[in-house]
């Protein structure tokens, strides 16, 4: 979860100064900042409760193979139709995940989930608004959004790749499981898809898996090199 948020936060920050209009430039920058904050909060729990390294070390000093992010968040920002569709798919998954985690037996995670769930309502509202607007704007816009949905969907399914601890997490009431989450995700998106007259692919789609087990796209290492460039100049500096 933390790696997903960190990497997508970095990707979304790449729209700063490039958004199709000023309001969207600001919106994507703000949501990127939120995601990096979510990552920091999760890394802090790992450090303080489970003895992992500090947030800075987890974010900036691990190698590519040690990251557990899904492939979806690693992909370049592309055109705005792609980034917006990724935002729509990912943030609906996130808000459903954090809603489920509000019931987690891990109390600190449950408390954080309640806070982040509130923030994600605004992310989802933004995504929903623009998905409907652009899908119904004109012929070219609609065609681009439909193509983006088709391109993104297999990667979006990769969000729900199960870890080897899946059954243990469910058994201990830490989390309801990725299959439950995926079902909630589909239900969450459906009213918006209906309003936008968008249908998800009906034929069997193979999810793009690998990221949760340390196998990544060619895009992650260059992103990490760029993201850690300043930190690596003086790793012991106080930030």
Query: What's the CA angle centered on 41, arms 39 and 46, to 5 degrees?
Result: 95
CB-CB neighbours of 183 under 10 Å: 14
Predicted local distance difference test score (pLDDT) of residue 105:
97
For 129-168, write each residue's pLDDT tens digit: 999 999 999 999 999 999 999 999 999 999 999 999 999 9
Residue 18 lies in a domain: yes
Per-residue confidence (pLDDT) for residue 239, from 0 to 100: 59
Residue 22 lies in a domain: yes
Which strand (E) or helix (H) includes residue 162?
none
Q: Is residue 101 part of a domain?
A: yes
What are the pLDDT digits (tens) for 69-103? 999 999 999 999 999 999 999 999 999 999 999 99
Nearest CA among 213, 209, 201 for reference residue 164: 213
Separation CA 158–CA 208 (nearest Å): 5
Q: What is the pLDDT of residue 171?
A: 97
d(CA 125, CA 142): 20
Indicate the number of domains in the chain: 1
Question: Does any domain span residue 100?
Answer: yes
CATH of the domain at 131: 1.20.1260.10
Kindly report whether the global pTM for this prediction surpasses the value 0.75.
yes
Please count the helices (runs of H) and the strands (runs of E) in the chain. Answer: 11, 0
Confidence class for position 22, pLDDT limits 50, 70, 90 = confident
- Residue 233's pLDDT band (cuts 50, 70, 90): confident
Q: CB of 3 within 8 A of CB of 39?
A: yes
pLDDT digits (tens, 9 = 90+) for 45-67: 999 999 999 999 999 999 999 99
| 238 lies in some domain | no
Determine contact, residues 42/209, Cβ cutoff 8 Å: no
Q: Find the domain containing 172 and state its range.
A: 2-233
Residue 142 lies in a domain: yes
Residue 239 belongs to some domain of the structure: no
Whether 38 has a pLDDT exceeding 70, the answer reads: yes
- Assigned token pair, 60: 């900036």
Query: Per the domain annotation, does 41 fall within a domain?
Result: yes
In tens, the pLDDT along 168-200 reads: 999 999 999 999 999 999 999 999 999 999 999
């Amino acid at each position: 979860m933390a790696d997903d948020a960190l990497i997508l936060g970095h990707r979304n920050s790449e729209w700063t100064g490039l958004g199709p209009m000023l309001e969207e430039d600001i919106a994507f920058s703000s949501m990127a900042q939120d995601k990096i904050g979510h990552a920091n909060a999760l890394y802090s729990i790992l450090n303080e409760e489970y003895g992992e390294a500090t947030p800075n070390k987890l974010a900036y000093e691990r190698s590519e193979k040690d990251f557990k992010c899904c492939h979806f968040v690693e992909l370049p920002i592309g055109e705005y139709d792609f980034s917006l569709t990724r935002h729509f798919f990912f943030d609906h998954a996130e808000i459903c995940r954090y809603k489920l985690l509000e019931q987690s037996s891990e109390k600190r995670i449950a408390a954080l989930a309640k806070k982040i769930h509130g923030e994600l309502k605004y992310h989802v509202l933004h995504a929903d608004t623009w998905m409907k607007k652009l899908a119904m704007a004109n012929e070219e816009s609609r065609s681009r959004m439909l193509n983006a949905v088709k391109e993104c969907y297999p990667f979006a399914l990769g969000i729900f790749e199960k870890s080897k601890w899946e059954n243990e997490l469910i058994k201990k009431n830490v989390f309801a499981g990725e299959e439950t989450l995926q079902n909630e995700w589909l239900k969450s998106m459906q009213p918006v898809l209906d309003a936008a007259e968008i249908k998800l692919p009906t034929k069997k789609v193979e999810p793009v898996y690998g990221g949760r087990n340390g196998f990544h796209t060619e895009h992650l290492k260059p992103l990490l090199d760029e993201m850690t460039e300043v930190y690596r100049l003086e790793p012991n500096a106080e930030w």
